[in-house]
């Protein structure tokens, strides 16, 4: 069984090791090296490797199947032997020193609603559908948007700190990356969390972690929520309002937000990441029923 073949690998510094659970398929192994973490080298592939800023020498490439903006379009992740891997399960979350992997699903200034297909083998990125039709946002999203791998918002677990003790939305944790560069679908970035928004979407808790890529020119200036307000004024309000209102053009009510309708600070964001990483670990170890979710 593929999920059972995963092994626990604790990576990064001692602080990260104490709080993280990295489950990786056996073809991969993380090693310590002079400049951080890297995947063991495996046979070189002739396919073009995409630039990844999150992981040192990750040896991860993406393969597109089908045509963009069609029902068949998929973006798969592969190792250099050509073996498919899961961007949700096989890319490590923790990189040490409070830095995390972030996988881009939706590039900034685009409107196609791309997402990891959590119910398909190897969880490729695809365009979401509704009633058999491709979904688009009513207007472009203004930031790079995607997920934190190895996290899961457990739909059976209620969060007592958010008004209404809401349950998770059964997806990986979402990330809004506020850097200036427009990224590509499938890019893996190294980010640091700055804040968290507790979005309430049709009665479910849908966390939005606000983060910045470490290669952004202003990344060194922002380390917590107050820095965002100083160096990216109005951004947290803009993120909240965008996600509050994007369903209104479709005739749906505005989304709501817990925690007093305000963004929480970095420490709270790290708490959310830790808790959802723990939920993911239970999921892939089958301590919690997976139901329709793919663990491969």
* Catalytic annotation, residues: 137
Task: Give the integer Cα–Cα distance in Å for 171 and 169.
Answer: 6
In angstroms, the first-to-last Cα distance of the chain is 9
Closest CA to 277 of 74, 58, 140, 100: 100
- Return all residues near 186 (Cβ < 8 A) that are at least 6 apart: 50, 62, 75, 77, 87, 103, 104, 125
Task: Give the integer Cα–Cα distance in Å for 128 and 4.
Answer: 29
Strands 204-213 and 167-168: parallel
Task: Give the integer Cα–Cα distance in Å for 157 and 149.
Answer: 19
Task: Give the integer Cα–Cα distance in Å for 15 and 117.
Answer: 32
Closest CA to 49 of 184, 152, 150: 184
Task: Give the integer Cα–Cα distance in Å for 139 and 1.
Answer: 42
Neighbours of 263 (CB within 10 A): 24
Task: Give the integer Cα–Cα distance in Å for 252 and 117.
Answer: 24
∠ CA 236-241-261 to the nearest 5 degrees? 70
C-alpha distances (whole Å) from 115 to each of 13, 67, 80, 172, 221 are: 31, 16, 23, 10, 30
């Amino acid at each position: 069984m593929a999920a059972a073949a995963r092994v626990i690998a604790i990576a990064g510094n001692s602080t990260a090791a104490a709080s993280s659970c990295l489950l990786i398929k056996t073809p991969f192994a993380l090693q310590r090296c002079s400049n951080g973490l890297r995947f063991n080298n495996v046979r070189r592939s002739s396919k073009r490797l995409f630039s990844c800023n999150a992981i040192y020498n990750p040896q991860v490439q993406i393969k597109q199947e089908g045509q963009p903006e069609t029902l068949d379009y998929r973006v798969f992740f592969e190792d250099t032997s050509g073996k498919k891997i899961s961007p949700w399960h096989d890319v490590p979350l923790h990189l040490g020193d409070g830095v995390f992997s972030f996988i881009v699903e939706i590039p900034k200034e685009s409107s196609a609603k791309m997402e990891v297909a959590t119910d398909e083998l190897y969880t490729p990125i695809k365009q979401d559908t509704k009633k058999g039709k491709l979904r688009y946002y009513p207007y472009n999203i203004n930031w790079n948007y995607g997920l934190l791998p190895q996290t899961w918002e457990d739909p059976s677990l209620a969060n007592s700190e958010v008004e209404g003790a809401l349950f998770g939305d059964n997806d990986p944790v979402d990330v809004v990356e506020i850097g200036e560069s427009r990224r590509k679908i499938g890019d893996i970035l190294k980010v640091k969390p700055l804040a968290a928004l507790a979005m309430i979407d049709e009665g479910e808790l849908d966390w939005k972690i606000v983060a910045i890529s470490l290669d952004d020119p202003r990344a060194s200036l922002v380390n917590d929520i107050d820095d965002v307000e100083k160096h990216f004024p109005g951004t947290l309000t803009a993120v909240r309002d965008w996600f509050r209102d994007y369903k209104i053009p479709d005739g749906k009510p505005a989304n709501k937000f817990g925690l007093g309708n305000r963004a929480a600070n970095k420490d709270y964001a790290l708490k959310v990441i830790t808790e959802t990483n723990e939920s993911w670990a239970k999921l892939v170890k089958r301590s919690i029923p997976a139901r329709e979710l793919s663990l491969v």
